[in-house]
Amino acid sequence: MGWSVHHRIGLLHYAPQVSFRGYTLVCNARGDYAHLIDMEGRVCHSWQNDEGICYGYLLDNGHLLLRTQGAGGPPSENDPENAILELDWDGNLVWAYRNPMVHHDFERLPNGNTLVPVFEQIPAELAAQVQGGRGNSSGPRVMFGDVVQEVTPGGMVVDEWHSWEALVPEEDVICPLETRRMWTQQNALNVTGNGDLLVSFRQISTVGIVDRSSGKFIWKWGPGFIAHQHHPTYLDNGHVLLFDNGSHRGGATYSRVLEVDPATSEIVWEYHGDPHISFYSFHISGAERLPNGNTLICEGAPGRLFEVTPDKEIVWEYINPYVSRSGVSLDPMRALNSVFRAHRYGPDHPALQGRDLDPSRYANLNRLYAGQ
């Protein structure tokens, strides 16, 4: 649905009796700041970084682990250097992993190492066998795939998983409306309760669980059911929650959030707009299951965040009022409020213990935007 230029921003709706009370971390998809907002939409803490904060989440020690640049594809010569940074609560840099091929997601492991997906050129012989994509097998000659690296605090790569070694060129086919520059474009990286990899490949509309010891898929699912999805997460019940963007789906275009049982590949819960076309983000976006059973949804392209109950009632809704300049727009000077992904933290979360979360410290911001 089209957005009115006069639509409200900030907090739109809040039902305290049925929402999961906490603080939501919001970063503009091409910005240089992160805001922690309360349920009223007021900024309670903020980070700023000149290299960029395009996406981040809180570690238990209150540090912000973040990605600096958009990196939707392999970088060109003039692209800024990409990095994964760790900032302390006060915004000081405490760790960095700089690699121009790092993109999209990252996961801090219990051993202190960090998992990151990186682009790497696929062997030419294999690239020629990959099916689909605009231009089919005629080009381009260079094709990139995804490698998951485990990086130590000292920056040493101690483990790698090459995605193309577990894929089948004839089965894992690139969407015919996408280019052949990338086979997979891994847009999410998580781990299961057993420490296996949970991955999402946008180009081939596929999610899967990869056994870390063998490098093989335990579960692989998606084509024909989802389209260019984002952000699968592993739930306590063993199911996988994901955001099905729906771009290039065919027919009416809409997004939805799905809970899938990997044991059967059955969709056991679904949220969509009413009407369907009222909820849609063609790229980015995510969904997170909250401790009270509700689901926090990030409709990323329009910067809309909302919380729904298991019965699909919207109990909290917020439009990101902050904008940044982005080359993703058809007009590169247009200001966008897009959000790659958002996270909610309860008041008892370890990252927030002993922290000053008084919104009056950001009175000027909150006077402008909260509840407009």
> By percentage, how much of the chain surpasses pLDDT 90?
84
Burial 229-240 (b: 16+ CB within 10 A, else e): bbbbbbeeeebb
State yes or no: pLDDT of 108 exceeds 70: yes
The pLDDT value recorded for residue 325 is 60
pLDDT in tens, 3-17: 787 888 999 999 999
The pLDDT value recorded for residue 1 is 53
Pairing of strands 114-121, 107-108: antiparallel
pLDDT band at 370 (very low <50, low <70, confident <90, very high): low
Segment holding 242, helix H or strand E = strand 240-244
Pairing of strands 64-67, 83-87: antiparallel
CB 257, CB 297: distance < 8 Å: yes
Pairing of strands 55-58, 64-67: antiparallel
Round to whole Å and give the CA distance between 120 and 74.
Answer: 8
Place of tokens 């910067």: 303
Other beta carbons within 10 Å of 354: 6
Domains and CATH numbers, the chain: 10-369 (2.130.10.10)
Residue 32 DSSP class: S
Round to whole Å and give the CA distance between 311 and 132.
Answer: 39
State yes or no: pLDDT of 332 exceeds 50: no
Mean pLDDT, the chain, integer: 93
State yes or no: pLDDT of 329 exceeds 50: no
Diameter over CA atoms, the chain: 60
Looking at the DSSP bridge assignments, the partners of residue 273 are none
Residue 9 DSSP class: -
pLDDT in tens, 282-292: 999 999 999 99
Q: Which of 235, 240, 202, 189 has its CA nearest to residue 65?
A: 189
pLDDT in tens, 116-171: 999 999 999 999 999 999 875 555 579 999 999 999 999 999 999 999 999 999 99
pLDDT in tens, 50-82: 999 999 999 999 999 999 987 678 877 666 678
CB 193, CB 151: distance < 8 Å: no
Strands (E), 83-221: 83-87, 93-98, 107-108, 114-121, 144-151, 157-162, 186-191, 197-201, 206-210, 217-221
Following DSSP, what letter does each residue of 311-340 receive, concatenated? T--EEEEEE----EE-TTSSSTT-EE--BS
State yes or no: pLDDT of 216 exceeds 60: yes
User: pTM here?
Assistant: 0.95
CB 178, CB 93: distance < 8 Å: no
